[in-house]
């Protein structure tokens, strides 16, 4: 299999030989730093400092919120609910720290999706645009192998940038907000309630679930790139669908088959926080739908890459 | 045992849509031979080459490389082939060296020494660590040839390698193609739409027009055995005419001050001798070679050449 490894290595060399790849990491770093600076200054992420009298502090916060609100509003106010959770369970709220910062930055994984889409869209199409595909495909290596080396390289890029996002966020968070131990217990909202969860577990859960969406969209872009051999089209298509995904579901919501739309299933968070998008959907249903889409994307990528002529234009 | 051809085309055809682009090509190329694949633009040279290297599917027929079919035994067939198809396009953001490393990783057993060897063979040592995007067309042709030679192929296919080169560059390419064929027994296929650019490097030339092979000629035979057109300026003309007819059994025609005839090159001294001994004054002898170029033009029609 060392042969396959060398193909993947080649793809990585080509990827990192280009400035645009480094610019992506630069943008990611700049945004993380930006968020941290914002949090430290204007955003007051670490505004709440709780001392030994944290119970009184929470009670007072609740009282402040309750002032001037109707009874109904008070009952449903998230801040009060959260504070009550701490009080009821006798948990002292932690100060904002690197772990919390990393968890909050999970939203940046949509930026990772964007970058991975760009990489996936180019990895086949660029070879055609540059004309290098002719030299690439006249080697004693099956086209199928080259295709999967390219796909593996895309996933490797996604993984690398994810690790970068995590590590850079953590370091930045540590510098700006400090660290509460190696694996503190965080309080998060789930299913209309609050629970306590270890930082590592919460990171794994939230980033892991978002990876599902990332992999699906990257695979989709990869497929378009293989079919049309045009990266602009693949990027445009994939980003449009990523953005318009929710509107598309909204539009077809009333139909029975809406639950089979890809975007109704890519957000697996829906099974952890709140209720499913469409009635009758479950985690295993969504996983099944995703697997079917995934197989279709891969088979089409493969068919077009291996079976079609490399002809002049 | 008969010598196995390095490459064999068997009734090769390609249909694109409803149109037949390649209409049944059959020929062989032997080890150590330089084969010129000549034809006007749009004749189907590149399409044929794309089928030879498996970039395009073969509609009908087959290509055998050292006996292995590119259709059914792709890996065994392609491992003997090095090629440039159309322009030698490289990754512009990587150095020439990294481009070569990239292709070297796709083939077994290519050492760094071997890469250095091909770099020096094509004379790119100085520029090899510069980005390929900054190379001139001539340098890219050389890098293209270098990547095609990495794995010591038995068959080297170069699609219009003289494109964009000056006469000096063409002479250089000719030299290393001849060396490869003669010293390393490589079968080389060189396509071109200009006969003058490849005539001197080829042993044989196949002429393709509208997807059909219209002639295959051996270059040396052509220049040796063809009869030349000879113009002789002599006085008196009548006597010269008579002498040539009677003593040498030639059939000259008279045109103004000149006698015109066709004869082999070796016969010229005896013609002159015969005239001088017969008391005819010879003022000049002019030889007009019938070149491949004429033949090529005859075959494809002058208008087809740009
Ligand atoms: N992908 C294609 N689709 C349709 N026609 C094509 C395609 N590629 C080449 N052709 C046609 O095939 C003919 C041969 O082209 P080509 O092999 O490039 O010629 P050459 O290399 O001899 O200049 C041309 O008439 C060209 O228009
Ligand atoms: Mg051509």
* CA-nearest residue, atom 3 of ligand 1: B16
- Cα B65 to ligand 1 centroid, rounded to whole Å: 23
Q: Do A10 and B106 touch (CB under 8 A)?
A: yes
Q: Which domain holds residue A239?
A: 2-18+103-157+197-307
Closest Cβ opposite residue A311 in set B56, B87, B144: B56
Number of domains, chain B:
2
Residue entry with tokens 């091909």:
B118
* CA-nearest residue, atom 17 of ligand 1: B44
Q: Do A132 and B90 touch (CB under 8 A)?
A: yes
Q: What angle do CA A108, A109, A115 make, to 5 degrees?
A: 100
Residue B183 included in any domain: yes
Choose the final residue of a domain: B187, B207, B223: B223
Q: Which two tokens stand for residue B142?
A: 């050389």
- Cα B42 to ligand 1 centroid, rounded to whole Å: 6
Q: Count the neighbouring beta carbons within 10 Å of the beta carbon of residue A81.
A: 16
Residue A76 included in any domain: no
- If asked whether residues B38 and B137 sit together in one domain, one would say yes
- The packing angle between helices A19-40 and A109-130, to 10°, is 170
Q: Which domain holds residue B18?
A: 7-223
Give per-residue pLDDT as tens, A95-106.
778 888 888 888
The pLDDT confidence band at residue B292, using thresholds 50, 70 and 90, is: low
Q: Which two tokens stand for residue B211?
A: 């997807």
Select the more confidently predicted residue: B132 or B274: B132
Residue A271 included in any domain: yes
Q: Do B89 and A134 touch (CB under 8 A)?
A: yes
Q: Which of B36, B47, B191 to mutate to test the pocket of ligand 1 (most atoms within 8 A of CB)?
A: B47
Prior bond to B236 cis, omega within 30?
yes
Closest Cβ opposite residue B93 in set A18, A134, A135: A18
- Report the nearest atom of ligand 1 relative to the CA of B160: 21
- Give the environment of ion ligand 2: residues with CB less than 5 A: B 45-46
Q: Is residue A134 classed as helix, strand or coil in its secondary structure?
A: helix
**Among positive and negative, which fits the CA dihedral B88, B89, B93, B99?**
negative
Q: How many CA atoms lie within 13 A of B83 on its CB side?
A: 30
Q: Do A310 and B56 touch (CB under 8 A)?
A: yes
Q: Count the neighbouring beta carbons within 10 Å of the beta carbon of residue B32.
A: 18
CA dist., res. B204 & res. B230, Å (int): 26
Q: Which two tokens stand for residue A126?
A: 């660029």
Give per-residue pLDDT as tens, A134-147.
999 999 999 999 99
- Report the nearest atom of ligand 1 relative to the CA of B45: 22
What pLDDT score was predicted for residue B290? 58
Give per-residue pLDDT as tens, B190-230.
999 988 888 888 999 999 999 999 888 888 655 555 667 78
- Cα B57 to ligand 1 centroid, rounded to whole Å: 14
Indicate the DSSP class of residue B281.
E
Q: Which residue from B43, B72, B63 is spatially nearest to B192, judged by alpha carbons?
A: B43
- If asked whether residues B261 and B170 sit together in one domain, one would say no
Q: Are A187 and A195 in contact (CB under 8 A)?
A: yes
CA dist., res. B94 & res. B98, Å (int): 6
Number of domains, chain A:
1
Q: Which of the residue ranges A136-145, A204-213, B42-51, B213-222 would you say has the lowest mean pLDDT?
A: B213-222
Q: Residue B119: which CATH number?
A: 3.40.50.300
Q: Are B25 and B49 in contact (CB under 8 A)?
A: no
């Amino acid at each position: 299999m060392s042969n396959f490894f060398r193909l993947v290595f080649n793809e990585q060399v080509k990827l990192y030989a280009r400035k645009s790849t480094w610019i992506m990491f630069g943008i990611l770093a700049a945004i993380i730093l930006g968020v941290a600076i914002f949090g430290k200054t204007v955003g007051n992420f670490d505004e709440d400092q709780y001392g030994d009298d944290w119970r009184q502090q929470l009670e007072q916060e609740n009282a402040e919120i309750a002032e001037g609100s109707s009874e109904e509003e008070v009952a449903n106010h998230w801040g009060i609910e959260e504070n009550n959770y701490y009080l009821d369970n006798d948990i002292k709220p932690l100060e904002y720290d690197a772990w919390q910062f990393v968890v909050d930055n999970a939203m940046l994984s949509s930026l990772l999706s964007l970058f991975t889409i760009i990489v996936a869209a180019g990895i086949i199409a660029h070879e055609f645009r540059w004309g290098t595909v002719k030299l690439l495909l006249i080697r004693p290596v099956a086209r199928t192998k080259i295709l999967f080396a390219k796909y593996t390289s895309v996933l490797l890029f996604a993984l690398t940038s994810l690790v970068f996002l995590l590590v850079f966020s953590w370091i930045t968070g540590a510098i700006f907000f400090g660290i509460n131990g190696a694996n503190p217990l965080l309080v998060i909202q789930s299913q209309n309630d609050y629970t306590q969860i270890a930082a590592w577990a919460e990171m794994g859960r939230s980033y892991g679930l978002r990876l599902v969406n990332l992999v699906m969209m990257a695979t989709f872009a990869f497929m378009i790139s293989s079919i049309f051999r045009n990266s602009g089209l693949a990027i445009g298509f994939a980003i449009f669908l990523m953005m318009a995904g929710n509107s598309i579901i909204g539009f077809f919501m009333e139909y029975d088959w809406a639950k089979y739309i890809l975007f109704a299933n890519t957000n697996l968070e829906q099974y952890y926080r709140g209720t499913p998008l469409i009635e009758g959907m479950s985690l295993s249903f969504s996983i099944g739908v995703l697997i079917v889409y995934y197989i279709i994307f891969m088979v089409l990528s493969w068919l077009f890459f291996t079976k079609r002529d490399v002809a002049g234009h | 045992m008969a010598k196995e051809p390095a490459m064999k085309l068997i009734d090769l055809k390609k249909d694109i849509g409803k149109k037949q682009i390649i209409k049944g090509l059959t020929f062989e190329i032997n080890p150590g031979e330089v084969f010129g694949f000549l034809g006007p633009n749009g004749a189907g040279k590149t399409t044929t080459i794309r089928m030879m290297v498996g970039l395009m599917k073969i509609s009908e027929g087959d290509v055998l490389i050292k006996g292995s079919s590119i259709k059914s035994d792709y890996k065994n067939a392609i491992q003997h082939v090095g090629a440039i198809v159309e322009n030698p396009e490289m990754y512009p953001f990587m150095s020439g060296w990294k481009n070569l490393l990239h292709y070297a990783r796709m083939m077994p057993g290519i050492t760094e020494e071997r890469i250095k060897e091909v770099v020096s063979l094509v004379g790119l040592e100085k520029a090899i660590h510069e980005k390929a995007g900054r190379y001139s067309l001539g340098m890219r042709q050389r890098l293209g040839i270098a990547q095609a030679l990495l794995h010591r192929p038995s068959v080297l296919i170069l699609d219009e390698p003289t494109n964009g080169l000056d006469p000096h560059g063409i002479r250089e390419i000719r030299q290393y193609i001849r060396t490869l064929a003669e010293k390393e027994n490589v079968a080389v296929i060189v396509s071109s739409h200009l006969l003058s650019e490849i005539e001197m490097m080829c042993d044989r030339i196949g002429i393709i027009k509208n997807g059909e092979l219209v002639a295959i000629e051996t270059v040396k035979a052509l220049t040796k055995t063809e009869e030349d057109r000879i113009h002789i300026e002599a006085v008196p003309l009548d006597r010269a005419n008579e002498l040539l007819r009677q003593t040498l059994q030639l059939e000259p025609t008279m045109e103004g001050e000149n006698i015109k005839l066709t004869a082999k090159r070796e016969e010229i001294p005896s013609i002159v001798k015969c005239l001088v001994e017969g008391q005819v004054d010879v003022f000049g002898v002019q030889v007009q070679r019938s070149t491949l170029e004429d033949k090529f033009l005859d075959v494809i029609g002058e208008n087809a050449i740009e």
